[in-house]
Amino acid sequence: MPLVGSREMLYRAMEEGYAVGAFNVSNLDMVRAIIEAAEAERAPVILAAASLQIKYCRLDLLAATCRAAADAAKVPVSLHLDHGPSYEENVACLRAGFTSLMFDGSAKPYEENVRLTRQVVELGHSVGLGVEAELGRVLRAANEPTPADIRGCFTVPEEARAFVEATGADYLAISVGSVHNMVKRSAEIDLPRIAAIRELAKRPLVMHGGSGVPHEVVKQAVANGICKFNVSTELLKQLRAGMEKVFAEMPNELNSRVLMPGPLAMVRETAQEKIRLFGSAGKA
């Protein structure tokens, strides 16, 4: 079916108490592995691409690939700009055919984040698309943040309410303990904070840095209000592990069509496991 918007997907997830997986893609193989995972689990799914991934693929090629893959898919697929850095990048993605937008002003002062987010919300709403915004910062593991650094960036529930009212953002990425690019699942998630933000913001909430969230905590995070779970690093870890395995097993093989199916099956299985944990299996 044609690419769909993410708003209906995520508001339904909020009503029914599950989360949709948003998986980052940077090539045709990953697009296919993720859509196959969603089809196997009969789940709606979000393909996400951030600026560096878009630059690597070329925006037109990435959008065309995702559109063609979605057209042939048996489940609803949305194409989302992850961490959109500017109004201009949102416009470019919209023109290329993305069906879900994001402006990430979380590193900017609050008032500037409100002002710039509102512009992107107006853009998205003018064509009927949902817009994600971010309040509170989700840090990066490479910068080795301390627990105090992480807590210092937490989203404040009262501020989240004021922020969504001022911006009209459709979903909100929040900082509650996860960190981007963690290779171990050891993030300490402040579950009551998720519930408090949901209570006041009344929006689907988004967990970035999903790879670092312990599996036993994922379900609790969803029960407390997370409706979109972003995962990238864990899939890349599987891809790399799979590639190391096949390179060792087939030292003389040159064809990527022979080398890649094994690693991609590992990516697909991991995405399926996540989808089941998020509760979106069977929701397509």
- Active site amino acids: 82
- Do 212 and 185 touch, CB atoms closer than 8 A? yes
CA 212 to chain centre: 13
Q: How far is the CB of 276 from ligand 13P (least distance, A)?
A: 17
230 binds ligand 13P (CB under 6 A): yes
Q: How far is the CB of 253 from ligand 13P (least distance, A)?
A: 29
Q: How far is the CB of 211 from ligand 13P (least distance, A)?
A: 3
> What is the distance between the alpha carbons of residues 72 and 102, in angstroms, rounded to a whole number?
25
Task: Pick between residue 48 and residue 161 the one whose CB is nearest to ligand 13P.
Answer: 48
Q: How far is the CB of 139 from ligand 13P (least distance, A)?
A: 11
- Do 81 and 110 touch, CB atoms closer than 8 A? no
Task: Pick between residue 193 and residue 208 the one whose CB is nearest to ligand 13P.
Answer: 208
The one among 7, 193, 208, 274 contacting ligand 13P by CB under 6 A: 208
Give the Cβ contact number of residue 44 at 10 Å. Answer: 24
Q: Which of residues 76-105 bind ligand 13P (CB under 6 A)?
A: 82-83
The one among 6, 78, 90, 211 contacting ligand 13P by CB under 6 A: 211
Q: How far is the CB of 106 from ligand 13P (least distance, A)?
A: 11
Taking CA atoms, 45 is separated from 19, 33, 92, 186, in Å, by 10, 12, 22, 25
> What is the distance between the alpha carbons of residues 127 and 148, in angstroms, rounded to a whole number?
41
The one among 6, 24, 26, 90 contacting ligand 13P by CB under 6 A: 24
Which stretch, 69-77, 128-136, 178-186, 255-263, contacts ligand 13P (CB under 6 A)? 178-186
- Do 43 and 21 touch, CB atoms closer than 8 A? yes
The one among 26, 78, 233, 280 contacting ligand 13P by CB under 6 A: 233
Provide the binding-site residues for ligand 13P, judged by CB under 6 A: 24, 82-83, 180-182, 208-212, 230-234
